[in-house]
Each structure stands twice: as structure tokens, then as C-alpha cells.
Structure 1
Amino acid sequence: MTNDELRVSADRVLARLVGDTTGTARLREDQWRAIEALVADHRRALVVQRTGWGKSAVYFVATALLRERGSGPTVIVSPLLALMRNQVEAAERAGIRARTINSANTEEWETVQEEVAAGAVDVLLVSPERLNNPDFRDHVLPALSASTGLLVVDEAHCISDWGHDFRPDYRRLRTMLADLPPDVPVLATTATANARVTADVAEQLGTGGGLTQTLVLRGSLDRESLSLGVLNLPDAAHRLAWLADHLDELPGSGIIYTLTVAAADEVTTYLRRSGHHVASYSGKTEDADRRAAEADLLANRVKALVATSALGMGFDKPDLGFVVHLGSPASPIAYYQQVGRAGRGVEHAEVLLLPGREDEAIWRYFASLAFPSEEQVRRTLDVLAAADRPLSLPALEPQVELRRSRLETMLKVLDVDGAVRRVRGGWTSTGQPWTYDAERYAWVARQRAAEQEAMRAYASTTECRMEFLRRQLDDETAQPCGRCDNCAGARFSVDVSAAALQTAQGELGRPGVEVEPRRMWPTGLPAIGVSLKGRIPAGEQAAPGRALGRLSDIGWGNRLRPLLAPQSPDGKVPDDVANAVVTVIADWARGPGGWASNASDAPNRPIGVVTVASRSRPQLIQSLGERIATVGRMPLLGTIAYRDDRVDTRVPRTNSAQRLRALDGALTVPPALVQALSSSDGPVLLVDDYTDTGWTLAVAARLLRQAGAGAVFPLVLAVQG
């Protein structure tokens, strides 16, 4: 078949893919160049093109043509379930049989693998995490690499740690690339890669062979349908009120992005109470609920999904009419990617950024999750090297000062670097030498800081906003768009109605978050000298508690973050905070099972207040305890103290096991408090500033229960997360 004949066949497949019955559908020139390189020349190609350009058409058309020529199935490495579902549906429109292997369909894996082996599957979509699953890596991947007709790496910027969304699992692709037969074509696609990320990904596709092995097709990143704007509003209540007043003015249906799960929940609740049809979508949303929310948005049964970055890549709704960000992402590249969901199949879509004062605190939190220090990495390697068996994450966690999610990410990087290996049962050391690349990690940290500064500049610039974003992605063709608020004038007023503002203030000012007690001791405590394991006895557990708010929310979180920041001076509890705590207690007491309810199984009224000693905020906690005791007309019984013979218990709140090791034997119930508790078996309120891991409250409650307290109700100002 000549290349001209191949082009005719390619356009025919495209027509099936897009549902064109007139036969007029034609590939873009760069789409054809990529397909030609893959199908005719069996090359490796990197396509960096704007969202909506048609990158998926390249790999589906190439798949159909390669399968006609007898090639094996296409393997697509795809990062998100929403993206996988969209790709399966698109493949079916073109008559391409697609299946997936991911965390949501484990019961189908064996059947899917059998179908692949039988040649009944044209496209297999796998999540990057599968690539280093021991069973998949050792038993499925070798055969898959040998039979693959085309390898596609979607959202390829995730390969590069220079990029905004680096994922260590993607680096495992280097192994698969190296194992592929030399004539198997490879396609990588992304809409969000600047020049450095593009070069890095292209080099990795060439597996060390240099850029000449990889065809790079990079186009203009302008999105002619998008009208960008920024609305600077005084506070979170005004931003919520603006949404309530103006959401129906936005075209079609769309996405409202928030920076945290807590904010997504808050916004969803408020907008529903204001009469809007919206749904919440985050990393904590159950898969079935995610599917339902996606379907509702696709069918325009909801005005918007209120989503975190869990919806950031791949969700495909061509007629999406708007994207609003309630809070600014930390990177203009990530922002460009998310707003790219809108306006793919319509002439006009609105893109609005509503930055908030809490944005910077949230940026700092996520920045704190960067690659750990060399000391922490070496400690992990030493523990693995000394072990006589593979260590699971729960077994390894007590021995290192890292939270599980951060520990797992670090291990994945070390796995790619060859220092550790994931096997059945956990992780092992390979014994291979490993160098801590401090210079590279520092550069990445500086890059993140520069991206944050760029987002501040984007929000305040008087120049063209689309041109600004395109230049951040090194688009050399960038020029003023003529559509954004700076080019064409603002299209939306910042005015909000008094009624919407009052409702928003009430919603955000509503205090009270339930604090779930700890019920199980962490795994592996005996290995670090703490003789606790299994379930915490019911008679030693804390009862469900309450907090004034979450540090990550946009209501009380905005008030509590400055109060509880490490650099904030200690002082008496502010009146507004104390009054809100009293409201929380009153609602708590009257609620289901509360001590002031009519429920027959309601606990007795607390006999008094106990505080937790603090070296950093003694005045705050003491004054809060005194205020609660005075208003509640109950005695301040005393304080859970730190033992004088303990050197320093102010350890980082890293993970559960490390926190418990620091707390083991560190707290004590003074004699006067023991005497007060032993004279009555009634419940007590346990007051602290905030809870993160939850173990200070659990240990203090255990001691109080052992000293005679009938029940312990924890009460804190804030919960982390």
C-alpha cells in the first residue's frame, strides 16, 4: 500500500471515529504526519498539541491501520479512570474493540488477559500503576511487550519530573520501551509540556538514543473558543455568593474546580442549597458515584461538577461550556490543562479564575510533600537492606518518618532508579548503589516556586491572559487572543446579591466537623519497641469528637490557619473562635446521641473539662478550656501533662507509628486529675488545639479512661485535611 492509499484508509477510519457519514472528514496535517510515522515507518513520535486538537484520533486511526496489517494490539497507558472510559467509548465508535485493566475492574483482569491472548482485543488500556504490580510486571508485561503492535503513552508529561504532574509509575515505561521489539511504533501525547518537558520525554522515548529517534510534532496552543477572565473577590463568602448568583449565566454545563476535597464538599452543599443542580467529584468519591457524576454532566443533567484535580486529565465532553476555578492552581501549566476541558466542540466557552487567600497555604502544603530528604531516603534503604524478607508499606512505615502516601511515592522513584524492587509481599533492597540527586530535586523545587509566582502574575496581569499561558508552555507563536477580559473587557460583574452573600456567610460560618476516633493501633509497633497492637479496647477508646473546622476548607479553615500556623504567637483564644466552639458543643449535645438529647442511650453530661498540655500554644489551649468550662458551668479538672523526664516530644507529625513512638510513655495524668476522675465515672471533654494523625487524642483518652473517666469526648479547634 502506498502512502497515498494509506492516507485514504486513514481518513476513512477517521470518518467512522467522528461519526461522519458524508465522507468529508479529513485528518489534520500533523495528525497524518504522526500516523504515517507510526504505521508506515514504525517510528516513535511525541505529539504536543492543545486539548481538543485530536490526539486520540491519531492512535485510534493508527491502531485500525496496524491491525489491518496484522499487528498486535495497541497498549495505551492512561492515568485516570475517566479518561479510560472516554477512550473505550471512542474506540467503539470506530469499530475498535477496547478493554481496560485498572483498579476498578479487578474481577475482569483474567478475562481481559485471555481475550488479549486470543487476539480479540484491539486496544488494551492500562493504568501506569499496573506496570509495576509484581504479578503484572513479571507474568503479563513480558508477553504483552512481545505482542504489542503500538504503544501509546497518554498524558506523557507525567513521565518527566520537570513537569507539573510527575508520576513515578510512568517512569516504569522506560523498561517496557527497552523491551519492545525495535520495529514497534510508540506514540506519546500531551497538551501540557513546555520545551524542557518535551525534550525530556522525547529523550526517554528514544531510550537514550537521542532526539533524532523521536519525531516531535508540536503545534500552537491557542484555544480560539476560550475566553479567559479573572474575578478578584474579597473573600470566600463573596466567591460562593458569586457562583450562586451567576452560575446560570454561564453557557451550557461545566466544571467548578476547587483545590481541596473539603472545599469541593462545601461548595457542592452550598450550591445545592441555593437551588443549583451540581455534583461533587474528588479522589474520595466512590467509583460508582464518579461514573454517575460523569454521566450526569455528559447528559447535561447537572449544571456543573464541583471537582478537584481528580477530574484533571482526559474527561471528554466536547460541548463543555465553562470551567471556573474557585482557588488558583499552583502551576500555569496545570491550569492550562484543566481549562482545556472546555470549548472543545463549541464556538465559545467561559474560563474564570476566582483566586482566594487560602491558595498560598494550600500550595505550601502540597510543596511539603516533595521528594524526602537524603536522611529519610537512606534510613528507608537501610531498613530494607537489614530486613530478611520483603517489607509491606504497613510494616515499613513504623520504621521511617514518612507518611504512607509519601513513602510509597518515594519507593516508586527508588524502584525506577534501581535501588529497590517491588515484589510479592512488599519491597526489597536491590543492593545497587544509589545517589541522592540533590541538585535535581532542588531545581524541581525552584521550578515549582517559579510556577507559583507565574500564577500570581497571571491573576494580576493586564496583558493578554491566553498569550501569558501559551508563553508559559514555550509556545513561540503566542500572541494576544482578543478574547480574554484584558483584551476585550470584562464580561462578568463582581457584584453579588445581599441574599446570596448572607447565605454563603452562614454556610461557611457554620461550625462543626466530626472527628472520628482511632480504633486500631498501627501495624508494626512492636518492631519499634511499642507494645501495642490490634484493636484498641472499647473501654480505652475515645468517643467520636468534634472540631470547629478543617484547615483545608474555605470557611473556618481560613480563620484557623493563621491562628494555628507554626510562626503565629501564642495567646488567648479569640472571642469569635471561642463563641463558635460553644456553638459546636451546643449542637453536639443536642444532636443524635448527644448528652442533651432525649435518646435513651445518650451519655451523661460531661462532668468537666480536661486540656492537653502544649509547649507551643499553652495560653491558647488553657484559655479555651477555661472558656468552655465557664460557659458550660462545669469544672476545669486539669491537664494531661508531658512527663518531665522526656527530652522532647515535639517530633514531626509524620506517620501514625512514629507519632505513637514519640507519645509512648510521654503523657501522664497528674494525681489531682486522677483523684477528680476516680470520684465519678462520668464523661469528660478533652480539649486540644488541632489533630492531624489523631494519636495524641487517642493516647490521652486511653489514659483518662484508665484513670476512671466514663467516656472521653475530644474537642479541637481544627483537623488537618
Structure 2
Amino acid sequence: MADFQDTALQDTTDAPSTDNPLRAEATQILRRLVGNDAAQFHPGQFEAIEALVAGGRRALVVQRTGWGKSAVYFVASLLLRARGAGPTLIVSPLLALMRDQVAAAERAGVRAAAINSANQLEWDEVSGQLAADAVDVLLVSPERLNNPRFRDEQLPELVRRSGLLVVDEAHCISDWGHDFRPDYRRIRDLIGQLPESVPVLATTATANSRVVHDIEEQLAGRADAGDGGGPAGQGVLTIRGPLARESLRLGVLRLPSPRARLGWLLTHLAELPGSGIIYTLTVSAAEDTARLLREAGHAVLAYTGRTDPADREQAEAALKENRVKALVATSALGMGFDKPDLGFVVHLGAPSSPVAYYQQVGRAGRGTPNADVLLLPGTEDREIWEYFATASMPDEAVALAVLRELPAPGTVLSAAALETRVNLRRSPLELLLKVLSVDGAVRRVGGGWEGTGMPWTYDGERYGRIARARVAEQNAMLDYENTAGCRMEFLARELDDPAAAPCGRCDNCAGAWYPQAVAEEATRSADASLHRAGVELEPRAMWPSGMDRLGIAVKGKIAAGEALSAGRALARLTDLGWGGRLREIFSATAPDAPLDAATLQACVQVLAQWGWTERPVAVVSVPSRSRPQLVESLARGLSGIGRLPYLGALAPVNGGPTGGPGGNSAFRLAGVWDRFAVPDGGAAWFAQHPGPVLLVDDLADSRWTLTVAGRALRTAGATAVLPFALALKA
């Protein structure tokens, strides 16, 4: 583990004191862990261990990545076990982090096990090992703390027997942390269940003063962190070191366009030291960039939230073993990924806060004296930040609607069942349920969720403060890009590091260290890739469950005679290339207008490359309430260029579609069900001209509008429906 390796490499002049038997014992364990008979503790490491083992205290360690935080809790765990304590419980946020920690612990002779969503088949085996006292360290994800079986059957015994509680990546506890996770807020309750004699350790590399104070309060279990937190009323011990990373050479290179940024990568990727990570802001950008680099001969892999878990693990291994030059990743590759010799981190687009940026670049240079970090900001960054900004903020009206459906204990509903009662998509619904659960208003049980009957009040003031803080963080990120001062000092000050000082290495301190020229051929390749038009529009295959509650008698698989064929769209709104133009078209401030000639020609290219087995016999459009000119001009344009008859738009019936963007599948389907009729004469046309129909829409989000419109056309006699949308929302 990098933490152990860094510890082993430190100066050995600080010999263990013969006057402190605990230090001598801890040093021997450390040396055994790292395999180095000369290893010594960094300043602060033993002090934290001593507080936990000898003092039974609650401690917070805020130190840069690579400092050796894991050495603290592994050494403390073995010391406590030698004194008869139970196993250490580590709450750890990511599977990648758990895999590394378990592997490192086992190499060091620490008996470690994990319980998480990826190893359910091993849970009974781990439970048996715990019962036999054959586990020194158990790692669990914060989500496990609310799993009914784990919470009710295993956690009480673990709390009773635990010798040490460790909260890793503890900034996740705080609303103010850059990677806040609702389930981490349960840790305050978990700490409250522990006997006061059980020590607690929280560790993080990315916490400013506000986050530190929040964590201290939660460790103490009360509003004033100084009034408790251990035996005899001792306060929380906070050990905070300098956060600047001496190995990192930071830089910011402004280039005028996405094609220039990709061109820079094509030109200079091979020159970057060793292997590294290329971060992007969106999944589509990661996938498109990885494809472009592979086509140019670079060994890279995409790594996103859409990547299969098994493929993620293989990609991590490929990077660690230097079988690839880089992973092109979203923030899905972040906390916990451990490669000591990672040589570079490049960002195509900036994260939305300096603290999040610090966390990501901290993956590099942990075990090497030098690593290069370069930010290539984009003009579209702020748009993307705003797109994702409110994803974790609960809506008061929706929250109250959920609580109305879960009034008290005894009414148990799954998330799928709640979707037919509350108009919210599955991911934000599950996030809202976690928030309500942490607030004590609902409780996860076998089969779903139930209300607790406890009163709940929407904390609008708190969410307003968080929203304002997010805007301030975005502005600070722009300040980082534009600063004329030391970049590492800027990041350290954002983390309220009192030791912040000029680094002497970044581009502002020592001059631009990175090449700025972009090869013309690379720019052309990037431009061609960005203007490669067309993404697949996958048809819906199944009706949402529980539609009978909304008065619609459909369930199961969509019948073959009613289903759409696979379709196409020009691009996703989040794409680097055509996505920029589409974001302009679909901006809330953009007026409805006919489609411009260049974008229409790109749509024609998509159709020309489609490769359908049978040419469409006609074009039909979906009626639009917000952009009728745009949709009609697109449909008529494709009709004219393709020499296909345009039959017109589907007619709104039964009041036309209801609802708006967002919401879950059940309500989106209910809002468009039986709301479209084929144009006059359409059925007669299909009888005389059997064949597929090209169905044109402006923006595909849930795809239920296209599905229901296509069903109407199939019912009227179209042999197939080929959906085409100008844009996919994601």
C-alpha cells in the first residue's frame, strides 16, 4: 500500500524511544507491516496511535494522500487486538479502496475482510470468521449501515465487540464535503452507540476548516466538540499536517476549443511521464476521448459510472501494472485508487471545486518524487457544473409526497412501488429515501421502506446554504484557473492549510513546463472525431411496473408488434463535439427557430450511416409544445433531402401530453399514454405503402414519448418505426 511504502521511506533518525514501551512496540509492528527494519513514523502518526490505544480517544487525522493514514489504523488495530480488543470496524466509501486495503492488510499479516455490495456470496463466510474472532479488520461501505440484515443482525454485535471504529474519507460525513454521501451521516448515530471506552479515528486528505469542525462535532457526538469525545471528557484530538504535495508540478493550459484540447492530448500524451489518469466531466466525454486516443494508437481505457464493475476492476489492474498509458475517467475513479507511481493527471475540463480538484490530482506522485498535473479548462465547464449542481438536493414537495405514501410503520413499499406513486426517477428517489432515513423519517426494512411516524421538516435554510457554498466553490475554481500566484499554495489555502506557501514548481512559480503547440494533424483528427455524428437511441423494451395504479393496463415486455426499432440521435447534450451546439439550441433562453443548415446536414450524415435493413417509406414528427419550428424544420429537412414523403406531425388527443421533463418512467408514460393520433390519412398511406416510418423528435430523455408515438404508428399499420432525435439528454 502506498501509505505503508511512503512511511517506510521516511527519514530514520527518529529512533523509537526506549522510555516509551508502546512506541517501541508500535514501531516493531510498523516495520513488520512495511517490510523495512529501519522504518519510522512520520510526525503525528504515533501521536494518533497513542491517543487511540493508550487514551481510548476520538481523533481526526487530516493529512495529504500518501502520508500514511492507513498505517495509523492498521498499527493501532494490531496493538488493540494484542490487548484483547475486538476487531476494528472501518467504514470505507469505495469498492476500489476496499480492495486495496484488504490486499495490503493481508500482505502485512492483518486479517482483513469486507462486506459490500460486490461480495454478497462471501457474507456468510465473513460472518463465520467474525464469530470465530478470526478477523482483525472489517471494512464496510456506509450503505451497509442501513442494510436491514446487516443493521439488525450483525451491526449490534459488531458495536458490542468493536475495538476501534475508523471512518475513512471522513469528509463524506459533512454536508460541506466535496463528496458528501447521505449514508455517512449515520456514523454520528453509530458513534453514539459505542461504549465511551472504544476509540474512534476519522481520516481524510481533503477537509477545510468548516469540514474539520463538522467532523469534530460528529466524532464528539454533541454540538461542542471540545466537551466530549473520549474518556473523562477529553475533546477530539485533531492532527493536521501540511497538505501541499511536493511531488506535484501543477499547470493550467487554456486552449480555445474542445478540438484543440483533444489535439493537445493526441500530440503530447506519449510524452507525459509514466502512466496516469485523464479526467473528464461527463461519461460521454470519457468514452469519446478514449475512442479517439485508441484510434490514434494510444493504449487507454474508459472508466466511468457506466463501466461494468468487473471491467472497472480490470481497468484498475491494467493501469497499476502499466499495461495502459492512461485511464480516461470520470470522478468514478477517485477516492481510494492507489497507484504510488502514477506519473500524471490531466483534466479535460475542470471539476466544480478546488477541493475536488485537489482530491483527484492527489492520486499522482504518491510514491515518486515528480508527477505532472495539467488542467485544460473548457468554456463549457460552467454549463456542465450547473447541469449536475442540484442532483443531491431534495425537493420539499416530493419529499412530503414520499412521506404521505409512507405514513407510519407497517406500510412497506419498495422503490419500484414508490415510483408509481411519486413522480421521481429511481436514482434521485433512492437518494431522497436515504436523506429521509438519516433524518429519521423513514426506515429501510425487508421488502422496501416504511415510515417511522416521526415528524419531519424540510430544512430549506440548510440546503440554501449548501447551494450557495457550491456556487462559491465554482467561482473559486475559476479563480484557481486565473490566478497569477502559486497554484499549490492556492489549493492549500482553499483547504485552510496554515502551512500554505509557494511551491516553486508550478507554471506560475517556475514558468510553463508543458508544451503548448498542437500538431495540425492532431487537430484535424480531433475535429473529425468531435464532428462524428450519431449515437444510438436504444428503444424501451419493458413497460414500467405498477402501471395499473395509474390506470394503464400494461406490464412486462413491450409486444414486438408495438415496439420501436433501434434509433439514432445526432449527439448527447453532454458530448464534447455536437453537444456544444445542441446545448445552445436547447438552452432555456434560446428562442424556437428552424434548424440551421450545418446541424441539419450533420443529421443527414447520421441517416446516411444508419445502415437500416429497409428504407423508410415516410417521415412523421412528434408534436412539440416548446419547439414546434425546430421539430418541423428538422422533419421537413430530412424528408426533402431524403426524398421521403412527410406525413405531418402526430395529432395531440385527449388533451395532449401532460407533465414535463424529469420524473420517473411510470409518470412519464402516464403523461403521454393515448395522447397521440396518427396524421389524417396515415393508416391508408401505410396500407398502400407498407414499410418503416422515420419518427422525428427534438430531444429524447425518458424515451416514453417516442415509445408511445411509435406504438400509435405501429397500431396504424407501420411495419416498423425508426426513431430519430436531434439530441439525447444523457
What TM-score comes out, normalization by structure 2 length? 0.95
2:345 partner SS: strand
Corresponding position of 1:682: 691
Percent identical residues = 59
Is structure 2 residue 670 aligned with structure 1 residue 654? no
- Indicate if the aligned counterparts of 2:290 and 2:300 stay in contact, CA closer than 8 A: yes
Which one of the candidate residues 59, 66, 71 is aligned to 2:80? 66
For residues 385 and 530 of structure 1, the distance between their equivalents in structure 2, rounded to whole angstroms, comes to: 26
* Shift in Å, 1:89: 1.9
Letter in 1 for 2:507: D
Q: Are 1:88 and 2:99 counterparts?
A: no
The one-letter amino acid of 1:31's match is Q
How far the C-alpha of 1:86 sits from its partner, in A, is 1.1
Please tell me whether residue 11 in structure 1 is matched to residue 30 in structure 2.
no
Aligned to 1:295: 317
* Structure 1 residue corresponding to 2:637, chosen from 620, 623, 627: 627
- The residue number in structure 2 matching 1:437 is 459
Please point out which of 513, 518, 533 is paired with 1:496: 518
Equivalent residue letter for 1:418: G
Shift of 1:81: 1.1
Q: Which residue of 1 aligns with 2:244?
A: 222
Structure 1 residue 175 displacement after superposition: 2.4
Measure how far apart 1:423 and its partner are. 0.5
The superposition leaves residues 24-55 of structure 1 with CA deviations (integer Å, 9 ceiling, x where unpaired) of 21112211111001111111111111111111
Q: How does 1:578-657 map to 2 (within 5 A)?
A: 578-589=600-611, 594-595=612-613, 604-643=614-653, 645-646=655-656, 649-657=658-666
1:139 and 2:153 are equivalent in the alignment:
yes
Q: Counterpart in 1 of 2:534?
A: 512
Letter in 2 for 1:92: E
Give how far 1:650 is off. Answer: 4.7
1:373 corresponds in structure 2 to 395
Q: 1: distance between equivalents of 2:164 and 2:187?
A: 14
Letter in 2 for 1:310: A
The answer for the alignment partner of 2:357 in structure 1 is 335
Residues of 2 paired with 1:387 and 1:101: CA distance? 28
User: What corresponds to 1:183 in structure 2?
Assistant: 197
SS in structure 2 of the partner of residue 491 of structure 1: coil
Amino acid at match of 1:7: R
Contact 1:511 / 1:581 at 8 angstroms: preserved in 2?
Answer: yes
Task: Check the 8 A contact 2:59/2:239 in 1, yes or no.
Answer: yes
Q: Distance in 1 between matches of 2:433 and 2:347?
A: 33
Choose which of 218, 221, 229 in structure 2 pairs with 1:207: 221
Query: 1:551-581 CA deviation, whole Å, 9 max, x = no partner?
Result: 1121221221111222211111111111111
* Kept in 2: contact 1:639–1:673 (CA 8 A): no
8 Å contact 1:18–1:93 — kept in the other structure?
no
Query: What is the RMSD computed on CA atoms of the aligned residues?
Result: 1.5
The answer to whether residue 409 in structure 2 is matched with residue 395 in structure 1 is: no
1:58, 1:616 → 2: CA distance?
59
Q: Is the 8 A contact 2:659 2:668 kept in 1?
A: no
CA apart distance, 1:94: 2.1
CA deviations over 1:427-468 (Å, ceiling 9, x no partner): 111110111111000000000000001111111111111111
| Contact 1:255-1:307 at 8 Å conserved across structures | yes
Change (3 A) 1:209 1:5: farther
CA contact (8 A) 1:3 1:40 kept: no
Matched residue SS, 1:311? coil
* 1:370 aligned partner, one-letter code: S
Q: 2:413·2:447 contact (CA, 8 Å) conserved in 1?
A: yes
Structure 2 equivalent of residue 261 of structure 1: 283
Query: Secondary structure, in 3 states, of the residue corresponding to 1:29?
Result: coil
- Aligned equivalents of 2:222, 2:148: Cα separation in 1: 25
Alpha carbons 2:398, 2:422 under 8 Å: kept: yes
Instruction: Confirm whether residue 119 of structure 1 aligns to residue 141 of structure 2.
Output: no
The CA distance in 1 between the partners of 2:289 and 2:349, in whole Å, is: 12
The reply on whether 1:194 has 2:208 as its aligned counterpart is yes
- Structure 2 distance, partners of 1:533, 1:174, is 43
Query: Which string of whole-angstrom CA distances, capped at 9 and with x for unpartnered residues, describes residues 649-689 of structure 1?
Result: 25232211121121123222233333323433311000001
Does 2:378 correspond to 1:362? no
What letter matches 1:81 in structure 2? L
Aligned amino acid, residue 636 of structure 2: E
Cα distance change on mapping 1:530 and 1:368 into 2, 3 Å: farther
- TM-superposed deviation, 1:100: 1.0
2:719 counterpart residue number = 710
The 10-residue stretch of structure 1 (388-397 or 1-10) with the greater mean CA deviation from structure 2: 1-10
Kept in 2: contact 1:417–1:434 (CA 8 A) = yes
Q: Which runs of 5+ in 1 are unaligned?
A: 596-603
State the shift of 1:370 in Å.
Answer: 3.3
Q: Is the 8 A contact 2:353 2:477 kept in 1?
A: yes
**Aligned partners of 1:19 and 1:93 also within 8 Å:** no
Give the superposition deviation at 1:286: 1.7
Q: Per-residue deviation at 1:205?
A: 1.0
What's the offset of the Cα at 1:348?
Answer: 0.9
Which consecutive unaligned segments of at least 5 residues does structure 2 have? Answer: 1-16, 230-235
The reply on whether 1:383 has 2:405 as its aligned counterpart is yes
Alignment partners' CA distance in 2, 1:501 and 1:632: 32
Residues in 2 aligned to 1:132 and 1:2: alpha-carbon distance in whole angstroms: 46
Give the letter aligned to residue 434 of structure 2. Answer: K
Of 151, 167, 170 in structure 1, the residue corresponding to residue 184 of structure 2 is 170
The one-letter amino acid of 1:338's match is: Q
Task: Report the counterpart of residue 493 of structure 2 in structure 1.
Answer: 471
Q: Which residue of 2 aligns with 1:460?
A: 482
Q: Which moved more, 1:432-441 or 1:673-682?
A: 673-682
> Counterparts of 1:330 and 1:676 in 2: how far apart (Å)?
53
Aligned to 1:601: none
* TM-score normalised to structure 1 length: 0.96
Runs of 4+ in 1 over 6 A off after TM superposition: none
Query: Cα gap change, 1:652/1:287 in structure 2, threshold over 3 Å: closer, same or farther?
Result: closer
Equivalent-residue separation in structure 2 for 1:416 and 1:182 (angstroms) = 23
Instruction: Quote the residue 1:720 is aligned against.
Output: 729
* Stretch moving more, 89-98 or 187-196: 89-98
1:693 to partner: Cα distance: 0.6
Opposite residue 666 of structure 2, the aligned amino acid is A
SS at match of 1:60: helix
Question: How many correspondences in the alignment?
Answer: 706
**Counterparts of 1:409-428 in structure 2 under 5 Å?**
409-428=431-450
Partner of 2:708: 699
Q: Tell which deviates more after alignment, 629-638 or 174-183.
A: 174-183
Structure 2 equivalent of residue 41 of structure 1: 55
Matches of 2:524 and 2:719 in 1, distance apart? 42
Q: Distance in 2 between matches of 1:529 and 1:359?
A: 43
